[in-house]
Structure 1
Amino acid sequence: MSESVHTVTALPTERSGGCPFDPPAELLDARRHGSVSGFTHPGGKPGWMITGYEAVRSVLADPRFSSRRDLMNVVDFELPPAPPGEFLLMDDPQHSRYRKPLVGKFTVRRMRMLGERIERITADCLDAMAETGPPTDLVTAFAKPIPTIVICEILGVPYEDRASFQEQIDTFMGGEVGDEELMAAYTATQEYLAGLVTEKRARPTDDILSELTDSDLTDEELKGISLILLAAGFDTTANMLSLGTYALLRNPDQLAALRADPTLTDGAVEELLRYLSVAKTFHRTALEDVELDGRTIESGTTVLLSFNTANRDPDRFTDPHTLDLRRQSPGHLAFSHGIHQCLGQQLARVEMRVAFRALVDRFPGLRLAVPPEEVVLRPETADIFGVKSLPVTWDTK
Structure 2
Amino acid sequence: MTTTDVPWITADTTDLHELEEARDRSWIARSDRGYEVLRYGPGLSVLEHPGLLKGPSFLKRLDDLGIVDGEIRRRWNQVVTTTEGDQRKRMRVPLAKLLRPMQISKLRDTVRGIVHDVLDEIGDPAEVDLLQALAWKIPSRVYCHLVSAPVELAPTIARLSDSVLGPLLTNDRGRRQEFVDTFWEGLDFVREHIDARRSNLGDDFTSAMIRQQLAGDLTEEELHAEALAILQASIDNTVHQTAIAFGKLLEEPSRWQDVVGDPARIPAATEEAIRLRPRFNTIFRLAAEDVEIDGFPIEAGSWVYVSVRASQRDPEVFDAPGTWRLDRPAVRPMMFGAGPYNCLGQHLARLEINEAVLAVARRFPGLRLTEDWTTRETNAITEVTRLRVALV
Q: Could you state the TM-score of these two structures normalised by the residue count of structure 1?
A: 0.87
Letter in 2 for 1:38: R
Question: Where does residue 324 of structure 1 map in the other structure?
Answer: 325
Task: Please identify, of 51-60 and 75-84, the stretch whose mean Cα deviation from structure 2 is larger.
Answer: 75-84
Question: Where does residue 181 of structure 1 map in the other structure?
Answer: 178
Question: Where does residue 97 of structure 1 map in the other structure?
Answer: 90
Decide which of 104, 111, 118 is 2:111's aligned counterpart. Answer: 118
Q: Per-residue CA shift, 1:139-176, capped at 9, x if unaligned?
A: 11111111110012212333332222212222233346
Alignment of 1:27-176 (within 5 A): 27-41=19-33, 47-69=34-56, 83=76, 85-129=78-122, 131-174=123-166, 175=170
Task: Please identify, of 96-105 and 68-77, the stretch whose mean Cα deviation from structure 2 is larger.
Answer: 68-77
CA contact (8 A) 1:72 1:302 kept: no
CA contact (8 A) 1:254 1:324 kept: no
Q: What is the CA distance between 1:307 and its match in structure 2?
A: 1.5
Q: Per-residue CA shift, 1:177-215, capped at 9, x if unaligned?
A: 521223222332222122222222344344211121011
CA contact (8 A) 1:197 1:219 kept: no
**3-state DSSP of counterpart to 2:29:** strand
Backbone CA RMSD of aligned residues: 2.5
Letter in 2 for 1:7: W
Cα distance in 1 between the residues matched to 2:31 and 2:342: 25
Cα distance in 2 between the residues matched to 1:93 and 1:393: 51
1:391 aligns with 2:384: no
**3-state DSSP of counterpart to 1:38:** strand
Question: Where does residue 279 of structure 1 map in the other structure?
Answer: 280
Consecutive unaligned residues in structure 2, runs of 5 or more? none
Q: Could you state the TM-score of these two structures normalised by the residue count of structure 2?
A: 0.88
More helix by share: 2
1:336 aligns with 2:337: yes
Q: What is the CA distance between 1:343 and its match in structure 2?
A: 1.1
Q: What is the CA distance between 1:266 and its match in structure 2?
A: 2.2
Letter in 1 for 2:175: G
Question: Where does residue 20 of structure 1 map in the other structure?
Answer: none
CA contact (8 A) 1:69 1:82 kept: no
CA contact (8 A) 2:56 2:286 kept: no
Question: Where does residue 375 of structure 2 map in the other structure?
Answer: 377
Consecutive unaligned residues in structure 1, runs of 5 or more? 17-23, 42-46
Cα distance in 2 between the residues matched to 1:73 and 1:134: 45
Cα distance in 1 between the residues matched to 2:378 and 2:57: 24
Task: Please identify, of 69-78 and 236-245, the stretch whose mean Cα deviation from structure 2 is larger.
Answer: 69-78
CA contact (8 A) 1:278 1:386 kept: yes
CA contact (8 A) 2:137 2:155 kept: no
Cα distance in 2 between the residues matched to 1:171 and 1:71: 16
Q: How many corresponding residue pairs?
A: 376
Cα distance in 2 between the residues matched to 1:84 and 1:202: 29
Using the aligned pairs only, state the percent identity: 28
Question: Where does residue 302 of structure 1 map in the other structure?
Answer: 303
Question: Where does residue 208 of structure 2 map in the other structure?
Answer: 211
Cα distance in 2 between the residues matched to 1:297 and 1:378: 32
Cα distance in 1 between the residues matched to 2:228 and 2:38: 29
Q: What is the CA distance between 1:82 and its match in structure 2?
A: 6.8
